[in-house]
Amino acid sequence: MSNETEHPKGEAAHKVYRTTPARTGKMLVIMLGICIVGGAIFFGMWDYWISQPPPVVAMMAGGDDHGTVAVHTGATITSDLSFIESSDFRTLAFNALPGEPNNNPTINMEIGDKVMFNVVNDGRSFHSFGVTHDDEGFSGIIPGSEVASASNPLKGGESGTSEFIAGEEGIFYYICTVPGHREQGMVGTIIVGDTSAQVMEPEVVEEVMEPEVVEEVMEPESTPVEFSGVISLPEGSGAPGCDETNECYIPFNVSVSAGDEITWSNDDSAAHTVTSGSPADGPDGNFDSSLFMAGGTFSVTLDEAGEYPYFCMVHPWMIGNITVN
């Protein structure tokens, strides 16, 4: 039996191939078999598909480089933390200053446990919060553990909540993420798993912070210099030390005429404020730049004669003074 179609004489012959019912049946059986086997494999691994999110999700959850997912399978721990500052602002801590009970309390937990952080800014300076695996610096913050940020921090009296789920064993750190504040003592330890792990004690802070020095340098006793343009917030002013030479604002004590415009330029890599008042008494309301980032500027015009001390709310050792004639 031929599978070709005959054409009338005079017309071009076109071959048309047709399959047989037997061939069609075989193809359907093969396709059905592929679907059955594929479905069996897929549903046989169902637990895997629903328990393994994409690697990017694992990274955002704080898992390791191999995609370990931080899933809450254990206990829930509540940790109440407050930002604390010494009277000279040189020592910072959580809950209590070094040497006092409950200073930077260590948190012990197991893989799968979750810590709920309730943080409140009980200080005058600006602060923000996060958990990191890094043993220094303020980067590597695990998503979900943040409260505010260095560019949008908590002001005095403000609070927030966050959480951290342990996805692997090791040592983590809860810190103030404002640059320089961790080095001043705002760092606590989270131990996941083996509680015999070596813990870093932030004892260095006590040696760095000498309160006597600040009392002398926080008083701008030098003769005001004639204002010649822009007051600079120099590189490195976000860390203690510039106050020892009165170089947190350069020049730090200027004299201007009433109605003159005064401009500050943030030449540091950290965010700062220019806030009228003093660290001891807080803002007095005459002017405030709010937080402005590296490369930013802030200007103000003062029309009334008098003394206008000012400071940085984020780094209170930074002080300056304006004399308006």
Pairing of strands 253-256, 319-324: parallel
Provide CATH 2.60.40.420 ranges for the chain: 76-208, 212-324
> What's the order of all strands across the beta sheet hosting 275-278?
225-226, 253-256, 319-324, 306-311, 275-278, 282-288
What pLDDT is stored for residue 7 in this prediction?
Answer: 53
For 311, the token pair is: 């400071």
Residue 239: per-residue pLDDT: 76
pLDDT of 10 reads 52
pLDDT per residue rounded down to tens, the chain (325 residues): 445 555 555 555 556 566 677 888 888 888 888 888 888 787 776 655 544 444 433 333 344 443 455 788 889 999 999 999 988 788 899 999 999 999 999 999 999 999 999 999 998 888 999 999 999 988 899 999 999 988 788 988 999 999 999 989 999 999 999 888 898 899 999 999 975 644 455 444 444 455 554 444 444 446 677 667 799 999 988 777 888 889 999 999 999 999 999 999 999 988 889 999 988 788 899 999 988 888 999 999 999 999 999 999 888 889 999 999 9
Best CA proximity match to 186, nearest among 272, 98, 317: 98
Q: Which residues of 52-65 are buried (b: 16+ CB within 10 A; e: fewer)?
A: eeeeeebbebbbee
The enclosing H or E element of 259 equals none
Q: What is the pLDDT of residue 290?
A: 86
Residue 119, beta-bridge partner list: 81, 160
Dihedral pair phi/psi, residue 83, rounded to 5°: -80, 125
For the chain, give percent helix, strand, coil, nearest 5: 15, 30, 55
Whether omega for the bond prior to residue 251 falls within 30 degrees of 0, making it cis, is yes
Distance from the first to the final alpha carbon of the chain? 116
Give the C-alpha separation, 290 to 271, whole Å.
10
Contact 52, 61 (CB under 8 A): no
Residue 263 is predicted with a pLDDT of 95
Distance from C-alpha of 34 to C-alpha of 276, rounded to nearest angstrom: 76
pLDDT at 53: 43
> 212-324 belongs to which CATH class?
mainly beta
CATH dotted code for 76-208 = 2.60.40.420
Q: Where are the beta strands (DSSP E) in the chain?
A: 76-85, 92-94, 107-109, 114-121, 129-132, 159-165, 170-176, 187-192, 225-226, 230-233, 253-256, 261-266, 275-278, 282-288, 297-301, 306-311, 319-324
Beta bridge partners, 127, equal 154
Among 83, 71, 75, which residue's Cα sits nearest to residue 119? 83
DSSP 3-state of 36? helix
Residue-level pLDDT at 63: 41
CB 325 within 8 A of CB 279: no
